[in-house]
A = this chain, B = another copy of it.
Amino acid sequence: MTALPSGLLGVLDATSDRAVFRQIADQLREAIGKGHFAEGAKLPSESELVGHYGVSRMTVRNALSVLQGEGLVHSEHGKGVFVRPRPPVRRLASDRFARHHRDQGKSAFTVEAEAAGSHSQVDNLQVREERPSADVSARLGSPLRVLVRHRRYLLDGRPVEFATSYLPLDIAKGTPIAAPNPGPGGIYARLEELGHRLERFEEEVRARMPTPPEAKTLRLAPGVPVIRLVRTAYDTKGRAVEVCDTVMAADAYVLAYELPAQ
């Protein structure tokens, strides 16, 4: 039985009413939090933990599965359990849709990516027409049909979000908005050229665990939630001209906003 470096992990509290596997998970979590196991580092093996704590292998496995469920560690078959590296977090600024960014001919995603020194890509692009869902219809003022633009965004090769935009067909049909590449500045620049000068955006933010297809599309580790962000763009006449429904890897983002005090 291999001994762990002394002091790295503590002993169990036999008088506690906290289950033994939870106590072990607590100690490993604390050691990770303190940096005793760095990002990407291997945790002690199951055998080492069995030896250290004097518990069954099943108890050790339960402890490790708690940490996996929290997204703190991931297991590699036959190799062991590792501290999950934290991906770089992108801070989305509260002025990310301001005109001075669009005037540079760049999309908000590209602007943010470049500000963070990252390489951005878009894939899985799909453009189609359809009848809107009840929710999209209510947000867009009940258009009969909508143009749908779907795409996935990658940063430095890692998928971080996918988004579906819905625009009333009477605005978008036969315009560059319906083209696979809508051109510099993206669909917001095209909307303004078509006379829909943008005034404001509303965003609604929620968080939940991903569905299995979402976890696959974003290559999410276990225990990583998604942020769901629904944005509605309004023109200066008060018309809702686009709804964008976005699912983001929660470990890749921090969203920044400003709120008025007046």
Contact = CB atoms under 8 A, between A and B. Distances in A.
User: For the complex formed by this chain, how many copies does it contain in all?
Assistant: 2
A207 B225 CA distance: 7
A98 interface: yes
A147 interface: no
Interface string A71-103: 100000000000000000101001111110000
5 contacts: A71-B209, A200-B260, A201-B261, A202-B259, A204-B256
A251 interface: yes
A26 interface: yes
A206 interface: yes
Contacts of A22: 212
A253 interface: yes
B200 A258 contact: yes
Nearest to A33: B211
Contact of A259 (B91, B97, B226): B97
B202 A258 contact: yes
Nearest to A89: B206
A10 interface: no
Contacts of A205: 205, 227, 254-257
Contacts of A70: 209-211
A255 B71 CA distance: 24
- Most B Cβ at <10 Å: residue of A25, A26, A71, A254: A254
Interface of A: 22, 25-26, 29, 69-71, 89, 91, 94-99, 198-212, 222-227, 231, 233, 250-251, 253-262
A208 B250 contact: yes
A209 B251 CA distance: 10
Contacts of A199: 261-262
A156 to B, nearest CB: 20
Given A203-B257, A250-B225, A262 B98 contact: yes
A225 B203 contact: no
B69 A259 contact: no
A22 to B, nearest CB: 7
A256 to B, nearest CB: 5
A146 to B, nearest CB: 21
A221 to B, nearest CB: 11
B201 A259 contact: yes
Contacts of A212: 22, 25-26
A55 B250 CA distance: 35
